[in-house]
């Protein structure tokens, strides 16, 4: 999974998605930090967005 973030060299920053032991929560892990996905498929103007509990840094 990749984000729109760049690492300063205009390259995408990879993310790893894992679930908890119950399989009901998703954790996104980047190169410097991680965050839990807490709301998914929020309808937006021309698509959908997902909300996480922290800002992922490049």
41 domain residue, yes or no: yes
57 domain residue, yes or no: no
1-15 mean pLDDT: 59
Residue 54 clears pLDDT 60, i.e. is over it: yes
58 domain residue, yes or no: no
Shortest CA distance to 38 belongs to which of 29, 49, 26? 26
Give the global pTM.
0.57
Task: Supply the range of the domain harboring residue 6.
Answer: 2-52
Phi, psi of 44 (to 5 degrees): -125, 175
Residue 58 clears pLDDT 80, i.e. is over it: no
Q: Return the pLDDT at 5.
A: 55
Q: What SS3 class is residue 27? A: strand
Number of domains forming the structure of the chain:
1
Residue 26: pLDDT band (50, 70, 90) is: confident
């Amino acid at each position: 999974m990749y984000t729109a973030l760049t690492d300063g060299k205009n390259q995408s920053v990879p993310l790893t998605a894992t679930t908890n032991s119950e399989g009901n929560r998703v954790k996104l892990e980047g190169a410097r930090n991680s965050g839990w996905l807490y709301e998914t498929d929020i309808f937006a103007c021309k698509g959908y967005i997902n909300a996480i509990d922290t800002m992922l840094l490049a």
